Structure 1
C-alpha cells in the first residue's frame, strides 16, 4: 500500500472530510490503487494527511457511498470493481462529474436544447406565470463512448443569464449554473423506478424493446428552496449502478 511521503496538503475551501474524499478519489482515478487493492489503513491516512480518525472515517464513508471502495469491518477498505459506473443515491452531483470521478471520460450528445413556453404542469412545478419560458433539454450521456443514460431535463428560464442561448449549454447543467451565478443545488426529491420504455431511446441505438432502465425522477431545489430543475434520467441497467449505504441507528 502506498501513502504520501510526509503529510499530504489539502486545500482550504471545503470541510476536511470533503477535501480528503476528493483527494483520495483523485488518486483512485489516477489508478494509484487498482481494483481489489487495499487502501492505506485509517491510522496510515491519519498520519499521512494530519487529520483526525473521524475525518478519515467520514471521507471513506463518502467514497463507499459513491461505490468507489468496499469496506469490510476488521479488514479495511478495498478498491471496488470499476467496470461499471456507480453513484451514491444520496450524492447530489452531476452525472458527468460522477463518470469523471470514476476514471472514465464523459461525453454528451444532444437531441435538442430549446427555450420554449412552459406547459401548465411546468408552471405549477416551478411556480411560474402563464407566459413563462423553460429550457427543455434531451440528451444522452456516455462514458468512454458507451451510452449509460438518456436524460430529459426542464429548467425555468430565470435560472439562466438574461443573454443565455440554448446552444451555450454544452456540458454539465450544474457546472454552467455555478459558472454563471445561477441557482445552486441544495437538495432534491427523487423517485426511483425500474422501467422498460423503448420510446426514450430517441437515437435507436439498438437496445432491445424490453431493455431495463433505472428511472431517477428528481426535482432539484436551490439554496432558497426554489424548485429549479426537473430531471427524468433513464440509466441503462448494468451500465450505471446506484449504491445506497445503510447504517444502523447510532452509527
Structure 2
C-alpha cells in the first residue's frame, strides 16, 4: 500500500452547520448540475474540502479551477474567503453559477467567474490568490507540467486538491483515458481534442503528491475519508472515496 510519510488528517468533529448538511441550506446546488449533485455527496465533500480547511480559507483570496456551477466557490465564501475567482470552460455552467450567486444574494464584489480555457485564464487574468482549489480536474487533463507551473507562478499559500485516482497503486503513475467532451462531467473540448474526445490521465495517489512536490508544494494533510464515512454509515454516493478511488489533499507552497 502507498506510504505517504505524511499523517492523514482525521475527519474533524462536524460543526452544527455541517451536521445539518451545508448544502441543505442552499438546495439550488442539487439542481443546477447533473454531475454527482447528490445530497450526501455534496454535504460530506463540503466537510472534507471546505470545513476541514476553514483555517486557510478564512480571509483568503481563492481561485477555483474548473468551478462548475459555483458550488465550491460559494462554499469558500461562506467559509470566510474574501474573494473567489472561478474558471470554467462551459458557458452554461458559468451562467448557472452566476444565477446561483444572484439567487443567494452574494455580494458581486466578492466573486468573479471567467468563462474560458483554464490554461488560458491562468496566464491572462492577472490572478492574485492565497488559496487554489483544484477539485475534480486532475483526471480531466494531461497537461500537468503546464498546470502546476501556472499554479506555482501565482504563489498561493495553499493548494487544495480533490481528484479521482488509481487505487492500490504505490508508484507515481498515470493511466491514459479518453473523455467524451460532450458530457458535462468530462473534460471540455479544447485545441487538443479530436473526434469529440480528449486524451486525459488518471493519476495514482503517489503521482498526485509527486506532481505537487515537483513544483514545491508540500503535502500537509490527506483527509481521512475512512473515518468520516465510518461515522456516517448510511450515506450514499461516496463509493469512490470509500474504495480509495478518490483523495482530498492540502498542500503548502514551500518558502
Same fold (TM over 0.5): no
Name the TM-score, length of structure 2 as normaliser: 0.24
Normalized per residue, the structure richer in helix is: 2
Highest RCO, 1 vs 2 (Cα 8 Å, sep ≥ 6): 2
- Considering only CA atoms, is the larger Rg found in Structure 1 or Structure 2? 1
